[in-house]
Amino acid sequence: MNEAADNLSGARLVELLERQNELYRRLRWLAERQKALVAQDDARPLLELLAERQKVVDGLIGLNGALAAYRRNWTERYNRLEEPTRRQVAALLEEANASLGVVLQSDQRDSATLSAKREDLAGRLAVADTGSRASAAYATAGAGAPSSIADAQA
């Protein structure tokens, strides 16, 4: 590959990484909104946000495909970049990794919160079901029992 092609390739790599970081920033913002919606316990806006997140993830998947060509022989390609481009690429990769780490941590916290809420709800439903069964049992037992002392003596 000649120097002009390397420079063009480097410019395209930077462009792709900048776009990737835009999407990661968007994903971080959505993760922050998600945290608030999980706390509010309102399913509809949360589902809408998750659909929006999926679109961002789909964009990242597409970019990942475009970046695959650069990952082949990465060390050689990276070393052929001019020094300013190499520094820019390194900074963009660091930013992407940091953003991904923040999103993953946020998702783990949200998942734990949702699991705890689900377990709490299941526990409350079990208690309510037990109460309903007890009420039904008392009602059934009461249906065959005399309604007054006079009935019981008869």
Exposure of 123 in the CB half-sphere (CA atoms within 13 A): 6
Q: Report pLDDT digits (tens) over 14-30.
A: 999 999 999 999 999 99
User: Does residue 69 lie in a domain region?
Assistant: yes
Residue ranges for the chain with pLDDT beneath 70: 1-8, 117, 120-121, 124, 128-154
CA dihedral sign of residues 77, 78, 82, 84? positive
Q: How many domains does the chain have?
A: 1
- The predicted structure's pLDDT at residue 121: 66
The pLDDT, as a whole number, for residue 42 is 78
Asked if residue 114 is part of any domain, the answer here is no
Is 12 part of any domain? yes
Domain coverage including residue 41: 3-107
Q: Give domain status of residue 50, yes or no.
A: yes
92 within some domain: yes
Residue 83 counted as domain residue: yes
Closest CA to 24 of 48, 50, 59: 59
Predicted TM-score (pTM) above 0.75 = no
Angstrom distance (rounded) from CA 10 to CA 107: 33
Q: Is 23 within 8 Å of 60 (Cβ atoms)?
A: yes
Q: Where are the alpha helices (DSSP H) in 41-82?
A: 43-71, 74-80
